[in-house]
């Protein structure tokens, strides 16, 4: 089985508030993310990580990596310094690269941490799996949602666990539908003359 994930930010305290994650502490977040991962990934499964796996943790990266099951592939994000500087951590991956082109059944996939508007294989109907923007509904999100073959692997869109390609498609669709629902929510009664901007969802994300 092949799984995908991105932007776990294991060990990173501030990401809990940034993403509005449902955890009260780093310890709870790390414990849950590791348990969720191992609840479905076996040692024979392949897991493709679209960047930003561990960030600002007080623990060495190999402490996490040795607990996570599966054959792991890392697509380098902008927060991979501690992993890349550790020989032990790098040894936990089958491959590490800035971009990967993989096959999942009949599907051809271009993987990069950063969302790409026109990726390699775009005109041959290849897919693009990315991370980086988390669950932000910002300008990048508005651009990428127009590309039906571009899929955000961010863990916060995917129940905080690695998911299959089919699950990734469904979860991205549900996230976009939730955004539309939020935008269509009517203004409170007796507020007809208020500035409509007050009722728009936030589209900003500060990393």
pLDDT tens-digit series, residues 72-126? 999 999 999 999 999 999 999 999 999 999 999 999 999 999 999 999 999 999 9
Give the whole-angstrom CA distance, residue 146 versus residue 155: 21
pLDDT tens-digit series, residues 189-206? 443 333 323 323 333 334
- Would 176 be classed as within a structural domain? yes
- Would 66 be classed as within a structural domain? yes
- Would 46 be classed as within a structural domain? yes
Domain limits at 60?
A: 2-180
- Would 204 be classed as within a structural domain? no
Q: How many domains does the chain have?
A: 1
- Would 54 be classed as within a structural domain? yes
- Would 205 be classed as within a structural domain? no
Find the length of the chain: 207
pTM: 0.87
β partners of residue 2: 46
Query: At 120, which CATH number?
Result: 3.60.21.10
């Amino acid at each position: 089985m092949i799984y995908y994930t991105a932007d776990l930010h294991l060990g990173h305290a501030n990401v809990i508030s940034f993403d509005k994650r449902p955890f009260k502490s780093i310890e709870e977040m790390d414990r849950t993310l590791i348990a969720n991962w191992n609840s479905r990934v076996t040692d024979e499964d392949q897991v493709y990580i679209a960047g930003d796996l561990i960030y600002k943790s007080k623990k060495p990266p190999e402490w996490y990596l040795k607990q996570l099951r599966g054959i792991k592939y890392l697509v380098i994000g902008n927060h991979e310094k501690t992993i890349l500087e550790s020989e032990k951590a790098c040894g936990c991956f089958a491959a590490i690269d800035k971009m990967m082109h993989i096959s999942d059944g009949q599907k051809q996939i271009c993987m990069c941490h950063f969302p790409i508007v026109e990726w390699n294989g775009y005109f041959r109907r290849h897919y693009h799996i990315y991370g980086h923007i988390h669950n932000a509904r910002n300008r990048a999100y508005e651009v990428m949602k127009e590309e039906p073959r571009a899929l955000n692997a961010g863990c916060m869109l995917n129940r905080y666990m690695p998911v299959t390609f089919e699950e990734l498609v469904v979860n991205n669709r549900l996230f976009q539908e939730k955004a539309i629902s939020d935008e269509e929510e009517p203004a409170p009664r007796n507020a007809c003359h208020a500035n409509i901007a007050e009722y728009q969802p936030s589209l900003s994300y500060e990393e």
